[in-house]
Chains A and B, each alone.
Chain A
């Protein structure tokens, strides 16, 4: 059982700064997912916690004890790698027992611990096999088993599911979540898949180019994104961003102008006040695809043309071009009639749920 705290952690490879000071506190037993696009420094951050990369500056504490100078083996952690990193010349049993043997744990206890782990992970029938004789999902389980037999204070996962096919990924995701809850071990989990992040995390750290843009529970991050980056990264399809919606010098026909005016009056008063206060050319309006819906012309907030549609069964995505050649996505239930590409359409906005961002992409709280 452990807490982890990162204090202003930075990392530079030579002159190349890749982590620019990250602060986070992880509670005992919490499942934290670090999510962000490729190359943003997720693995580097995780490897610093593991002790596989030197911490350039700042401090990492596990259980309130500074670990910057400790070797990986002294940190009481276990890590699951993206490529599993199993010992290819050892049987499944030996793979799991390796760390225990080094720790000089008595033979019968090793046997018992490995067997228990194998039972949890349904690996009993494979203990004598070599990793090359296993499927991807089984290898993944062995890697998990190797981590859990040691009963570490912290689990670290670096994209453990990214080599699996989509179906297995969903299944393993559930298994990992259940296992972590059962064992109650504090976990850091790196992924670039935002669905994985949403489903697994107690809280998530959304990283962007070496910074932690936002830390919070999945729904909190989804509903209340602190930057355009987070709003665009979390959620699929991403949040719609609209610029210059209310600029004065637009050449709009009368019905479009009426719609815009209607939108302005329907916005919450604080939002329209902010829009009028500031130079609104620089503001970005964000709205989730599910907060848009098709409507009759007299109630429309936006008028556009359907570019193409994606019927997914349970839901349908409509890609619609609105004024200033901006394309937005609208998500509606699958049983609602789908307009044809090229049709004009009338959109109503759930104005209470609009997010405002400043010119730097930072959220304006209202």
Chain B
């Protein structure tokens, strides 16, 4: 039954909507509009005047090797973060699904990291891996490995990937666990009787039945890696060394606020905006069509 809420005053509903509309307008539409507007201008070095340049900022960006490199970095970073966070979460969910004793305790513990803000997560991992005072890097030193992500770009990439993925595992874990528990036990038992051992069942029954969940999580995690990992990158590597961990979102910040190149930064924001749009469409399209067995 539809619940019909009736207001005595016909303006009251609009009034109640105002806060949300204002927030969206002030923090989304206005800056987005500004970004589109500014992407067509180059301000002078003192910020006093701006010169209209049309699509010049975009042309410049798409010919800028650093920007193109940042695209590649972002692609690599997103793929790695998604693979690690989805893979680890799936593994943990499969294990948690098999456990009977103390299952709730494990599950609760596994959900906790989700409550940690990305920036805090970044700091946590930074402390552990700090080349001078970090616990893990000290142990690695004992083992004869000289960890220094400030200089080594692979180590830097590895660390931001792990920190970003760690933050996300809990979320993925919850979805996978729910997905696993939605698979009827008797289907698994039927496969066992049909002669399939654990791994055979995993690949031929569990994974296919989880595929709607997996696809959803892939999209959501890519979006996360693209846009929400700023805090992790900022605290751990600040985009370095030599911009090897500068993903697109971080470059917007670095060019705009550190480099003061507002026109280019705005153009980058617009490109990002388009990317979010595309990813969101993909996501919604998919969720609508989501396969239900």
Contacts and interface: CB of A to CB of B under 8 A. Distances in A.
Contacts of A73: 192-197
B193 A79 contact: yes
Interface in B184-198: 184, 186-187, 189-197
A146 B184 CA distance: 17
A132 to B, nearest CB: 6
A227 B192 CA distance: 39
Interface residues of B, number: 18
A89 B189 contact: no
Contacts of B194: 73, 98-99, 102, 146, 150
A336 interface: no
B200 A87 contact: no
B186 A88 contact: no
Interface residues of A, number: 25
B277 interface: no
Contacts of B279: none
Interface in B142-201: 184, 186-187, 189-197, 200
Interface string A70-109: 0111000111011101111100000000110011000000
A134 interface: no
Nearest to A152: B193
B195 A103 contact: yes
A361 B205 CA distance: 49
Contact of B192 (A72, A86, A103): A72
A98 B191 CA distance: 8
Contacts of B192: 52, 71-73
A85 B209 contact: no
A85 B193 CA distance: 11
B292 to A, nearest CB: 8
Nearest to B209: A89
B293 interface: yes
Given A85-B184, A88-B209, A102-B194, A132 B189 contact: no
A100 to B, nearest CB: 9
Contacts of A88: 187, 209, 293
B208 A72 contact: no
Contacts of A87: 187, 190-191, 205
B195 to A, nearest CB: 4
Most buried by B among A85, A132, A150: A85
A50 interface: yes
A52 B196 CA distance: 14
Contacts of B204: 98
Contacts of B191: 87, 98
Nearest to A83: B186
A73 B186 CA distance: 15
B195 A99 contact: yes
Nearest to B205: A87
Nearest to A143: B190
A173 to B, nearest CB: 21
Contacts of A52: 189, 192-193
Contacts of A51: 193
Interface of A: 50-52, 71-73, 77-79, 81-83, 85-89, 98-99, 102-103, 130, 132, 146, 150
Interface of B: 184, 186-187, 189-197, 200, 204-205, 208-209, 293
8 tightest Cβ-Cβ pairs between the two chains A and B = A99-B194, A88-B293, A85-B186, A85-B190, A73-B195, A102-B195, A89-B208, A81-B186
